Every structure is written in structure tokens, then in C-alpha cells.
Amino acid sequence: MKGSQKRRSTPQHRRPSIHGHDNLVPNFSGFLIIRLLPGVISKIAESLDAVARDFKLDRLSDLLKRYNLPSRRLITSVSVEQLLELEERAQESGFALRISLASYWRLDARTVPETERQNILNQFLELQNEVDFAYLGKSASAPARAVANPLEPEQRYLNAEPIGIDARWAWTKPGGGGTGMRFVDD
């Protein structure tokens, strides 16, 4: 192991169960997400190929060469050093991570035919002594927005008197939505 690499001790854990992974993932983003075994972290590697070579993960290295999929770290918003430092601080709190986020990699499979992606994923999943977990990434979608308040029919106090306070009318007037209002409690 090189001086710039570090094997981190992580508590033993069970592999996540994979239900229905034989079906193609709807809305597949084109990326495969790979999580390496706990402790397989390189601070300097720029690609998953380099990590596989440095840690002598021969089967992973062979698979990466066979498919020639470009890779990068999944987490890129902070450096690996910063990420490991944050995780180290979290160890001292009640929010300790079981698996380092530095062990996640993203493979670009957008050029691979959709029918072959599942086959590639299955091959990564078979590398149980080198790869901890792998999955097909999904495309992001716009967040759901409620068009209307689903509880509004039950909120009869919003209606005009004699049932309610006529809040709907008040909302149409300047300041009716509460803007600029202050509250004092003695």
C-alpha cells in the first residue's frame, strides 16, 4: 500500500439486499455506481482503474479494462482529504458513517446499449471480494409540487361567515398574506 493511501477500519456490515435487480432500471441515468469494500480508499487516485491497480483488485481491474467505462468519484464537491476529515469528525459524534463516501465511484455507461447495462452490473456484483455494492443510477427528476392544498376542503374556517373568517378574501388585500405583520405577546 502506498504512503498516500489509507485502509480505514470500518465495522463489518451486511451487503444490502438487491431486490429485482434483474430488471432494467426505469429512467436509468447512464451511470453505474460502485461502492468499494470498506477501507479501499485512495487519496490520490483519479480513476477507479488506478484504485484497482493500487489495491491489487485484479478482477475489478480486468472488468474495467473489458468495458473501458470512464470513471470518477461520486462525491466531487469536496476533496477526498476534506471528506475523510469530515467523516473522522463524525466518528466522534452520534452520526458516524459505517461506510466512507470516498469509496463510491461513478462509471459512465451512457454509450453502452441498455440491454447490456444489466449484464455489466451483474458482473460487478459478482466481485464480492472487491466490490461491496453496485447499482444502476436513476435519472433525477423535478421534485413533486402540490398544486393545491389537499386538506383545503376540510378547512372550512377559510370560508366566509357564518362558517369561517373569510381568509380567502383577506388574502387578496394588501398585507392579507401576512407580509409585514408583527406579533407581540406580553
Cα separation, 91 vs 120, in Å, equals 35
- Count of CA atoms in the C-beta half-sphere (13 A) of 109: 27
Cell triple for residue 94? 452520534
**pLDDT per residue over 77-89, tens digit each?**
999 999 999 888 8
What residue type is 12 in one-letter code?
A: Q
What's the Cα-to-Cα distance from 90 to each of 31, 46, 99, 179, rounded to whole Å? Answer: 29, 25, 12, 40
Q: Which residues of 49-67 are buried (b: 16+ CB within 10 A; e: fewer)?
A: bebbbbbebebbbebbeee
For residues 27 and 138, the answer to whether their CB atoms sit within 8 Å is: yes
Q: What is the pLDDT averaged over residues 159-172?
A: 87
Task: Categorize the per-residue pLDDT at 69 as very low, low, confident or very high, splitting at 50, 70 and 90.
Answer: very high
Q: Using omega within 30 degrees of 0 as the cis cutoff, is the peptide bond preceding 162 cis? A: yes
* Region 29-36 average pLDDT: 94
pLDDT at 55: 94
**For residue range 109-154, what is the model confidence (pLDDT) as tens digits?**
999 988 899 999 999 999 989 999 999 998 876 666 666 777 888 8
Q: Is the pLDDT of residue 27 over 90?
A: no
Give the residue with greater pLDDT, 183 vs 14.
183
Among 87-91, 97-101, 116-120, 180-184, the range of highest mean pLDDT: 116-120
pLDDT at 22 over 60: no
The full set of domain ranges for the chain reads: 26-138
Put simply, whether the predicted model's pTM sits higher than 0.85 gets the answer no
